[in-house]
Amino acid sequence: MDFRKEYEQKLISAEAAAKLIKEDDWVDFGWGVGLPHDLDKAVADHIVANDIRGLKFRGGVVLRKPEIFKIENAPEHLCWNSWHMTGIERKSIADGIGYYAPIRYSELPRYYRDLPDPVDVAMFRVAPMDNEGYFNFGPSASHMADMCSRAKKIVVEVNTNMPVALGGEVGGEKIHISKVDFIVESTNVGMDLLGAGPTNEIDEAVAKLIVEEIPNGACLQLGIGGMPNAVGSLIAESDLKDLGVHTEMYVDAFVDIAKAGKINGKCKTVDPGRQTYAFGCGSQKLYDYIHNNPECYSAPVDYTNDIRVVGAMDNFMSINNAVDIDLFGQVGAESAGIKHISGAGGQLDFVLGAYLSKGGKSFICFSSTFADKAGNLHSRIKPTLAPGSICTDTRTNTHYVVTEYGKVNLKGLTTWERAEALVSIAHPDFREELVKDAEKMGIWRKSNKR
């Protein structure tokens, strides 16, 4: 069937599409690289020209500053509600625009399915329509299909640079033209890029400690950041083989590992031979690698992050960053005190799922210290999480913790054993102070080594 006639009937300008947005609307604005470009500019102009107020936008993993953020007196017109924040979105909090929506990322599809009030308007970028009338979400399947099922109006912005991210039996990676209300053909700007960031000696030291725990045939999940990137680089250079991928976020490190011949997925009991992910962000090489690649599997996040799916795969290795940890083993990965950093994401899902896996391990890794603006050094291992800090992984769930000074397995340890283990991988300059704090809290035995 030729869907071109329907396509032409639904084709409108970005400016005309922007006029669909009315005061007090809830507007979904894509996810990751799905954030619209031409529509973003048209919507910003529409808000200013017509003094539109009370708008509530949803989105997340923003890789460039949206035009709607640049509106003069933006907080008087709109607020941004993020499912997972980048640095750009953190800045929006300070600007009075942005707010975080706390949720386990894996719950987003159900959240939309159960949403009592429909999304008023959904606007997002897609790949060009295929011969069957489908627009691919690109590397952003995530929760998009379920969000669209609850939208009153759907506007897709077609971009020829958007890679086609192939899906599978679970579905959720594309939307049919029959469900789309309007189509905007964009100016086809390039993909939004996310640099992996340089690694340093500390990252590499932590990576070495983790990689020696990974067996051949393991299935990998990597978070974003210097340390997971360092782990990926080290794996690419290692003798490991027959690795698999099942992850929330697909990052550049996976491309490097795959091109080094380390990934074939033949040991995966779920989706064998395929690299499964909920969304991807990275350099152009990542988008080029994903495009129409049958080895890559774009799936909804309630599938990729389902602890039952994760636990069904043997030797599942989950590797994620954190902001800090306390002597009880509580992991903070979302905020530093009340200063928001990121979001819950799927870290807890993978911590839980990896432990359900036969031979599985979850690693929380970070540098032992950080320096403040004045150059003063602070320990990331603290007596207790700072007031206002969000606990992402509870003490009962924490498995391996790794710094440049070593790695410890906290699973099943008593409070004093945990304190002792964590002190042993703290920066030497802070160990004595941490011991004293542990004594005050009643989680340090006098006979313990100092």
Q: Annotated catalytic sites, by residue?
A: 248
Picking from 68, 63, 61, the residue whose alpha carbon sits closest to that of residue 95 is 68
What is the layout of strands, in order, in the sheet containing 275-280? 296-298, 275-280, 244-250, 219-222, 316-321, 361-365, 400-403, 406-409
Which of helix, strand or coil describes residue 201? helix
Which tokens sit at 273? Answer: 């031979």
Classify 78 as helix, strand or coil. Answer: strand
* Whether the Cβ atoms of residue 249 and residue 275 lie closer than 8 Å to each other: no
Strand order across the 26-28 sheet: 98-100, 78-82, 55-59, 26-28, 119-126, 151-158, 182-185
Q: Is the dihedral of CA 92, 98, 100, 106 positive or negative?
A: negative
Nearest-CA neighbor of 403 among 197, 204, 196? 204
Selection from 357, 252, 243, 250 nearest residue 306 by Cα: 357
**In angstroms, rounded to a whole number, what is the distance separating the alpha carbons of residues 349 and 307?**
6
Burial of 358 (0-12, 13-18, 19+ CB in 10 A): exposed
H or E element at residue 32: none
* 331-332 sheet: strands from edge to edge: 331-332, 324-326, 381-382
